[in-house]
Structure 1
C-alpha cells in the first residue's frame, strides 16, 4: 500500500462535505486508487428528502446515455438485487462484500445473473463489491465498486484495502447531511449555520476559531466548561485545554493528509452548574472553495448540550427501530434526562417495567447510553430552525 497516496486521498474525501458536487471526482480518484473500473455512491435519507446523492465515477459518466441505461436498470433489473441490498444493510459491520455473497450464490453462477450480465454488456464490468456506510435506520447509504470483465474475482487483499476508506466516506456523508439541508432550505451553507441549533465551531489545527454559530456563542458565553481563550482558540474552563487541542490537532491531521482519524469524542463536565456534561464531536473538514480561509484544512467541532431538551425530538425512532408504543413513550422521557423513578411515576408503572423498557430501547437502537440515544435522535431529526426568515 502506498501510505502517502492513501492519506492524501483520504483527506480529499472531506472536500465533499461542503461541496457535494465533488463526490464524482472523489469516486474517480477512489476507483483508481483501489484498482476498480468504476464506483457509485448512493445516499438516501428517509427523513430529509433534500439530502440525497447518486454520484458515479468517470466510466459511467463517459458512457453515452448512461442515465437512461441506469433508469432501465432500476426499472427492470434492480428488483432482482433487492435481497443483496438488504443483506448489505443488515450486516453488523460496514465492510465490502462481493455480490455473489450478497446474493447467496457461487461466483460461477454470475454468468446467468441478469443484472451482472447487463452490467458487463453495457459497461464492461463484471465483479462487484458493496458496503453500507452506517447503522442509522433513517439512512440508506451505499458505496459500490465495480471491476472490469475478464480480470478475475476481487481478492481479499483488494477488499481489505478498500475497507480502510469506508469510515471516511461514512463520516463525510454524515457531516454533509446538515449542510445539504441548510443549503436546500436557506440557499446557503456556512452563512446559514445559525439556523442549526447544535453548537458548531470551525477551527484551525491549533484550535483557532474561524466561525461559530449562535448556539456555539451561547455555550461560550456561559463559560460553563467551554471558553474562548485570549488567543482566540477554543478551550476549556481553567487550565485543562491541552487534551481538547490535541484532539483537534489529531483530527485536523486527517484533513491535511497526515492521519486516518475520522472522529474524536470528548465529554466536557460543567464547571459552574450541575447540568449534564457537553459532548464534543470533532471531525475533519476542508473548504475547497476557500469560503473560510485559503486552503482551510482543519476540524468541525459539534458541542451537544444534552440539557437543551427543546431541540431533541424522538419522532421516527419508534417506526425506524421497531419500538412498542410503551417503549416510544419511555424513549421520549429518557432523552429528556428523567430518572428511572421519575419515568415510572410519569407513566404510572413499576420501576422494574421502566428498566426493562429502557434495556429494550438501547438494544433495538444499538446504543449503550442516554447520551448516545440523544445523538441518534439528533441525527434523525436535525435541530434546524424551520423558519427561513
Structure 2
C-alpha cells in the first residue's frame, strides 16, 4: 500500500466514526502507527474549579482501561496543569498546533522528576504532545500522542504526518456530536436516529439517499433547499449550494480545511431569500453497518434548521466568549429561532440596538454569520436529542 493510499484510507476511517463512535480505539491505533507514536488519546476536561477532571472518552486499544483510569485519577492535578499549558501555547488561529512536552518544564530534569512522567516511563512512554482540536470550546476534543524513548523526540516527519490527520479528527468529532449523544445513551444509533433534532441523511456513492431520519425528511418537505431527483439522489436547490455539496462530496482535501473551527465548513442555504437558513455539513462515509450499509462509499449529511428552537446555556457561553449579560440573552433568543425584529420586540429595544448586539456576538465568537453562531452555541451547550415528551408530538 502506498503512503497516499494509506493516508486516504485512514482519513476515511476517521470519518466512519461519525456514525460509529465505538470505532475510535482502532482508528486511534492506526493514527498512532501512521504518525509513529505509541498511542493516541482524545481528552475532555469536565467540571469547574476543584471539581475539574480529565476524562478520556477515546484512546488507542493498546492501552488498558483500568490503567488509564488509575493514571488519570492519581495524576489529575498535574495533568490539568499540563493541559492548561498545551492550551495556552496553542495560538488563537484556525490552525491546529501540536505542542510537545518540552514546553511543560524549564529543563528535562525537571520534567522527568514529575510523578506523572515517572509513571508514564514505567509504561514505556517518554515523550508526549498535545493539541486543541476545538478552539471554540477548549474543554472538548483535546488530542494527545505518546511516544516511546526510541521513537522520540518528535521529528519534522512526526509533525507533518500529524498535521495531515488532525483537521479531519477535529471535523469528525465536531459533526458527530449528535450521534455520539445517541451512542452514549442507547445501544443502537440506527434505532434512535429519529430522536435527533438534527437532520441526518446517508448517501451512497452516487449521491442517492439510502437512509434519512425524521428531521431530515421534515426539512426536505418544508424548505426548498433540498430535493430528490428522479434517480433518488439528493440535490440542493439554493444558488451555489449544489456546487458546494458536490465539492464536499469530492476529494478528501475539501474536508478539514478550517482546522480547529470545522463549523466554518458548513454550507449556509437561504430559504426563499430570507435570513432563515439551514446549516448543512457533509463528511465521507465508507460504511454504515448499523444502517445495513457495510460497503457504502458515500457520505453523511447533517442538516440543522437554525430557525428551530434550541435550548442553550447562556451563562456558559457568556463566560467562554466574554459576552455581556444582554448579549447572552440575545444569543439565547437567537437559538430559539427568533429574528432580530422579534428579539427587539421581546426585549423592548430598538432593532438597531439588537443588530449591534448581534454583530458584537459574531465578532466575539469568531462566527462569520448567524448560522455558524447557532451551530457553535448548540454544539457547546445543547442536547440534540428530543425530549421523550415531544417524541410523539
Taking structure 2 as the reference length, the TM-score comes to 0.81
- CA shift, 1:26, in A, is 1.1
Counterpart contact for 2:327–2:361, Cα < 8 Å: yes
- Residue 348 to residue 192, structure 1, CA distance change in 2 (3 Å): same
SS in 1 for 2:63: helix
Question: Relative to structure 2, which stretch is displaced further, 288-297 or 208-217?
Answer: 288-297
Q: 2:155 and 2:294 mapped to 1: Cα distance?
A: 41
Per-residue CA distance 1:234-257 (angstroms, 9 max, x = gap): 11349988525523531xx54xxx
SS in 1 for 2:128: strand
Counterpart contact for 2:288–2:295, Cα < 8 Å: yes
- Residue 312 to residue 206, structure 1, CA distance change in 2 (3 Å): farther
Per-residue CA distance 1:202-242 (angstroms, 9 max, x = gap): 11232100111112112222352311111101113499885
Q: 1:266 and 1:220 mapped to 2: Cα distance?
A: 16
Counterpart for residue 259 of structure 2: none
2:58 to 55, 60, 71: 55
Counterpart for residue 50 of structure 2: none
Q: 1:217 and 1:356 mapped to 2: Cα distance?
A: 36
Counterpart contact for 2:285–2:300, Cα < 8 Å: yes
Counterpart contact for 1:195–1:385, Cα < 8 Å: yes
Counterpart for residue 236 of structure 2: 236
- CA shift, 1:45, in A, is 6.9
Q: 1:159 and 1:358 mapped to 2: Cα distance?
A: 39
Q: 1:229 and 1:288 mapped to 2: Cα distance?
A: 23
Q: 2:278 and 2:288 mapped to 1: Cα distance?
A: 30
Q: 2:153 and 2:11 mapped to 1: Cα distance?
A: 25
Q: Which runs of 5+ in 2 are unaligned?
A: 48-54, 257-261
1:82 to 61, 69, 80: 80
- CA shift, 1:34, in A, is 1.1
- Residue 288 to residue 106, structure 1, CA distance change in 2 (3 Å): farther
- Residue 241 to residue 324, structure 1, CA distance change in 2 (3 Å): closer
Q: 1:238 and 1:375 mapped to 2: Cα distance?
A: 20
Give the ranges of 4+ consecutive aligned residues of structure 1 lying more than 6 Å apart after TM superposition.
238-241
- Residue 186 to residue 117, structure 1, CA distance change in 2 (3 Å): closer
Per-residue CA distance 1:78-117 (angstroms, 9 max, x = gap): 312322211333422432110122x252445433233222
Q: Which runs of 5+ in 1 are unaligned?
A: 47-51
Q: 1:75 and 1:312 mapped to 2: Cα distance?
A: 33
Counterpart for residue 187 of structure 1: 187
- CA shift, 1:162, in A, is 0.9
- CA shift, 1:73, in A, is 2.8
TM alignment of 1:16-31, pairs within 5 A: 16-31=17-32
Counterpart contact for 1:205–1:248, Cα < 8 Å: no
Counterpart contact for 1:286–1:296, Cα < 8 Å: yes
- Residue 100 to residue 249, structure 1, CA distance change in 2 (3 Å): same
TM alignment of 1:282-293, pairs within 5 A: 282-287=282-287, 289=289, 291-293=291-293
- Residue 373 to residue 275, structure 1, CA distance change in 2 (3 Å): closer
Aligned: 1:261 with 2:255: yes
1:97 to 79, 96, 99: 99
Taking structure 1 as the reference length, the TM-score comes to 0.82
Q: 2:152 and 2:299 mapped to 1: Cα distance?
A: 41
Counterpart for residue 49 of structure 1: none
Counterpart contact for 2:220–2:226, Cα < 8 Å: yes
Counterpart contact for 1:200–1:215, Cα < 8 Å: yes
Q: 1:142 and 1:53 mapped to 2: Cα distance?
A: 9
Counterpart contact for 1:207–1:248, Cα < 8 Å: no
Counterpart for residue 168 of structure 2: 168
- Residue 9 to residue 112, structure 1, CA distance change in 2 (3 Å): same
Q: 1:354 and 1:236 mapped to 2: Cα distance?
A: 32
SS in 2 for 1:17: coil
Counterpart contact for 1:198–1:302, Cα < 8 Å: yes
Q: 2:269 and 2:87 mapped to 1: Cα distance?
A: 34
